[in-house]
Structure 1
Amino acid sequence: MALIAQPFRHPDSGIYYLRRRVPDDLRQIIGKTEIRRSLRTRNHQQAKAAFALAYAESERLFKDARQGLYTEHYKPEAVARALPTPVMPARTEGHIKLSEALVRYVQSISMSGRSEYVSRRHAVDYSRAVNRYITDMGDKPIAAIQASDIHVFAANLIQPADANVKPLATSSTRLLLARLSSVLAFSVDSGLIETNPVTASRIHKRLGSGKPKRRLDDNRGYSWSELVTLFSHAEFQQLRTAEGRPGNAVFWIPLIAAYTGGRREELAQLYVEDIHQHEGGSWFIRIIDDRPDKSVKTDSSRRQIPVHPDLIDLGLLTLLQGHEPGTRLFPQLVKVSDGFAGIVSKSWRPITQKCGVYQPGRNPLHAFRHSFKTLAREHGIPKEVSDWITGHASGHIGDSYGINPLSRMATEIQKLPSIAKAAGLLPRG
């Protein structure tokens, strides 16, 4: 099936173009391998209309060239002049203020098909970014926001004029600007403004790369000795019977994360029925957003994770006792703005500091996800199985076909070494 031709949007300027490959038999006649023509607009709807006219003109050029009618009039420079210039309709809604544009954007989130929790969290995060701009720069009409305003705003985030305002790191500034840009891009797509001032400002290039260069000694996960140190520490082991909030969740969530590579929120939001036994006898943890208070990061995050035998021996199934289906595995965890697991993270960090394994820049709970991938590589778990377990998308379209065999995952997970035995949580033998 042939692809439908579409206008090309320049990644820096945001202006749309006609780009057409010149057929091989016409390249010597026309003198180019590609026809490229600015459609002189950053609005997608206008670009589609202008693209249709420009595309039809390029078709006529190719037809005349094949019929021997190609003349000086059709030289590439002349073609650009001959193709029709799109008529830009007058804007009628550019006077709306940024706060109103935000309201429209938040209303549009409900159309995305995401879960209620994810949509609400998305709305909160993006509203914070826009409201920070309004606080610093004023609630301007969106058509009045200029690229220069974005630069002033970014500079004030990193070096606030008010000494009482905490400066943001460059990474946090980039994230805030990206969210502001999304709201303004929605306004462009909705026909409210012609240009996204954040994109036009090219501020992200001035702020530098969003990701620091990887160093050879950069390890975001725990080493084997660090894992043993953490789980053998007396203060950690005493948390098995801890009560209250967060209680024993600080014992179980790090352990489960170490043996599965699961994300902290995926584990903190589990329900009793999410720990279940497969028909082959193996136990699995189900990660799925089947309730309003559960969410997944990506589509590939919905998965079944095999339970390592060590977790069974440690008493994971005892967490199910006395709890009816429909209740949460860690009922003491209360959902707040940062999810169920925030309090677990805050309680886990001091333990890593007491054990001497805390490192600035390494997320104390997310580090288990990196550790799991490293252990899987070291002990021969194939990458495809490791990706199934952690919910990492491979990027290959073929991997979206069929299902991930649970029996294979249950077998491969047993290749992991026993962290619990090395840390003295289980007897060696």
Structure 2
Amino acid sequence: MRLPHHLLRHSSGVFHFRLVVPADLRAVVGLRIIKKSLRTRDPAVARVWAYVLGARYAQVFAAARGQGTPPMDKARKDRPRPLVLPTGPGNEVLDYACQVGNVRIEANGPEDHARAMEAMREMAALMAQQPPALVPPPVVLPVGPAAPAHRLMRPIGKAAEQWLRSIRADTLTKTLTIKAAAVEGFAKHFGTDRMLHEVVREDIHAWVEALRLSGLQTPTLVNKCSYLRGFFDWAAQAGYYPKFPKDENPAMGHVVFRKREKVKRRAHGFKAFTLGQVQKLYAPEALAQLSEGARWGALVGLYAGARVSEVGQLALTDFTTVDEVPCLTITDDGEGQSIKNEASRRTIPIHPDLLALGLTERVEALRAEGETRLFPKVKVGAVNGAGNWLSKSFTRHIEAVGIEQPAKGKYGFHSLRKTAIQTMKAAKVPLEWRCAYVGHELDEEHVEAYSGDYGPKEMLDAVQGGLGWALDLSGIRKALWSGGVRRRVRGK
């Protein structure tokens, strides 16, 4: 007796029912594969429920094709009628083969027949206790012309092209290239002419595993999956892919950083500068070797703890006064501006040291010259971002002052962000204020601690004491303002 049962066993031991939707019904059903947890680790119970679900979905598929449904038992509308088996002249059961939904039962002789009857009795007993969670819901078929089905019928290659066109205007050229490589790479792996709505999690997982075997590391795989998540979010909104809950995007959960990888990543990431290194980098004679724009960029990065792209894209309109406190805003509202995430959008007080060095004076001088950006020579929409020039300049500056790269990790402009955060931490600046100041995400339980009525004055009181490096401010100011007005305004 052969009993196909469509069973998969999860690593947890729980059995799942898995059924491939017929090709001619996938556009209507909106799925290529149906998968449901059977909520049991007992193989006998799981086998029987696989029979039940197979029969029920067979009824749904038959109705979808307009072929009607199999005969039903009058006592229970959701129970198929028991099999009527062939018998001989003496009422003995003959050899037979029959189909119950997607389950084929074959019996050759009395012994096979006895096992078949035992299986049917198990099915009947379990169906009488039918848990609602295991009953497949009826499929709601489209009414009228099959417009929704046609809308879903979109080749993934064409959908990828459309998505890239839709984000081109708001995406940096380099970022667009990276996103295109990820989504088009998956489309090629899956088959550019296959329908987008046929993609299931198993297809994406197979692609991820293929990339891993090709030698790509976990951080790269995480980035590629994040871009693919954005593509599927767009596809669901556009009607090219079935709707899914926010936390069930098919591209989610395929790659995670293991604890060992996280430790290794931290060890090889950017390192914070020591106090002695900061004083060496910001000595007046050392700063004088940088371009005028790079000097200001390096100082803003140190005191604001900002990312290099956030510094390089600053517009003059980002400098305001709130509650009589001079502030700067990190935002994506202006042309060529972008932020890493929503937590990065912030308005922070300008540190008193930056005011003493003349940052607001520079802003006013630029406005008087008719400029609109803090660094006028930076090209809007640069391929590598608005901060690429500053990152390269500061890396050369580190080498020029004689600071050697560490044995593990590296020094760069991002080290200034780590330096600011760790210095505030050492000064016991509360976590919620540190996160608010540098634009880090924070758990919801802490949000109330720095939201509500708190503003720039409170933030300044909280963080300014944790951002001190005993620099020669008067000497630095002379280095910043040496030369004529036009030089300091026109400098990058």
Task: Measure, in 2, the Cα distance between the counterparts of 1:73 and 1:131.
Answer: 47
Find out whether 1:169 has 2:217 as its counterpart.
yes
Q: Is the 8 A contact 1:352 1:364 kept in 2?
A: yes
Q: Is the 8 A contact 2:272 2:415 kept in 1?
A: yes
- Aligned positions, number: 346
Aligned-residue identity in percent: 21
Q: Is the 8 A contact 1:287 1:303 kept in 2?
A: yes
Report the CA distance between 1:341 and its aligned residue. 0.5
Task: Measure, in 2, the Cα distance between the counterparts of 1:383 and 1:390.
Answer: 11
Alignment of 1:295-306 (within 5 A): 295-306=338-349
Match of 2:156 in 1: 98
Task: Measure, in 1, the Cα distance between the counterparts of 2:389 and 2:430.
Answer: 34
Match of 1:334 in 2: 379
Match of 1:225 in 2: 276
* Structure 2 residue runs without a partner (length 5+): 1-17, 19-32, 39-52, 58-124, 478-492
- Partner-residue secondary structure (3-state), 2:300: helix
Match of 1:285 in 2: 328
- From the superposition, tell whether residues 388 and 203 of structure 1 become closer, same or farther in structure 2 (CA, over 3 Å): closer
- From the superposition, tell whether residues 159 and 254 of structure 1 become closer, same or farther in structure 2 (CA, over 3 Å): farther
RMSD: 4.6
Report the CA distance between 1:340 and its aligned residue. 0.8
Report the CA distance between 1:130 and its aligned residue. 2.0
Match of 1:260 in 2: 304
Could you tell me which amino acid in structure 2 is paired with residue 344 of structure 1? L
Could you tell me which amino acid in structure 2 is paired with residue 412 of structure 1? A
Deviation track 1:276-309 (CA, whole Å, cap 9, x = no partner) reads 44554x4322223332332333333333222222
What TM-score does the superposition give when structure 2 sets the normalisation length? 0.56
Match of 1:382 in 2: 430
Task: Measure, in 1, the Cα distance between the counterparts of 2:165 and 2:476.
Answer: 52
What TM-score does the superposition give when structure 1 sets the normalisation length? 0.63
Match of 2:484 in 1: none
Alignment of 1:64-79 (within 5 A): 77-79=130-132
Alignment of 1:27-426 (within 5 A): 77-80=130-133, 84-86=137-139, 92=150, 96-106=154-164, 117=170, 125-133=178-186, 139-143=192-196, 153-154=207-208, 157=211, 168-184=216-232, 186-187=234-235, 192=240, 204-205=254-255, 209=258, 212-214=261-263, 218=267, 220-232=271-283, 234-239=285-290, 242=291, 248-278=292-322, 280=324, 282-324=325-367, 327-335=372-380, 336-354=382-400, 355-359=402-406, 361-362=409-410, 364-396=412-444, 398=448, 402-416=452-466, 418-419=468-469, 421=471, 425=475
Report the CA distance between 1:315 and its aligned residue. 3.2
Q: Is the 8 A contact 2:155 2:195 kept in 1?
A: yes
Could you tell me which amino acid in structure 2 is paired with residue 328 of structure 1? R
Q: Is the 8 A contact 1:157 1:173 kept in 2?
A: yes
Deviation track 1:77-97 (CA, whole Å, cap 9, x = no partner) reads 444565644367795466533
Q: Is the 8 A contact 1:148 1:201 kept in 2?
A: no
Q: Is the 8 A contact 1:117 1:292 kept in 2?
A: no
Deviation track 1:129-148 (CA, whole Å, cap 9, x = no partner) reads 22344567763324576877
- Partner-residue secondary structure (3-state), 1:238: coil
Task: Measure, in 2, the Cα distance between the counterparts of 1:402 and 1:16.
Answer: 45
Task: Measure, in 2, the Cα distance between the counterparts of 1:187 and 1:321.
Answer: 46
Q: Is the 8 A contact 1:109 1:119 kept in 2?
A: no
Q: Is the 8 A contact 1:250 1:344 kept in 2?
A: yes
Task: Measure, in 2, the Cα distance between the counterparts of 1:184 and 1:125.
Answer: 16
Could you tell me which amino acid in structure 2 is paired with residue 140 of structure 1? D
Structure possessing the higher radius of gyration over alpha carbons? 2
Task: Measure, in 1, the Cα distance between the counterparts of 2:322 and 2:220.
Answer: 43
Deviation track 1:380-408 (CA, whole Å, cap 9, x = no partner) reads 32333323322334333535852432222
Q: Is the 8 A contact 2:425 2:466 kept in 1?
A: no
Q: Is the 8 A contact 1:265 1:340 kept in 2?
A: yes
- From the superposition, tell whether residues 386 and 417 of structure 1 become closer, same or farther in structure 2 (CA, over 3 Å): closer
- Partner-residue secondary structure (3-state), 1:322: helix
- From the superposition, tell whether residues 266 and 225 of structure 1 become closer, same or farther in structure 2 (CA, over 3 Å): same
- From the superposition, tell whether residues 420 and 381 of structure 1 become closer, same or farther in structure 2 (CA, over 3 Å): same
Deviation track 1:329-365 (CA, whole Å, cap 9, x = no partner) reads 1101113133211121122223334433435654722
Deviation track 1:22-62 (CA, whole Å, cap 9, x = no partner) reads xxxxxxxxxxxxxxx9999xxxxxxxxxxxxxxxxxxxxxx
- From the superposition, tell whether residues 228 and 185 of structure 1 become closer, same or farther in structure 2 (CA, over 3 Å): same
Task: Measure, in 2, the Cα distance between the counterparts of 1:153 and 1:178.
Answer: 14
Report the CA distance between 1:259 and its aligned residue. 1.0
Task: Measure, in 1, the Cα distance between the counterparts of 2:403 and 2:466.
Answer: 25
Report the CA distance between 1:217 and its aligned residue. 8.4
Report the CA distance between 1:188 and its aligned residue. 5.4
Could you tell me which amino acid in structure 2 is paired with residue 209 of structure 1? R
Match of 1:50 in 2: none
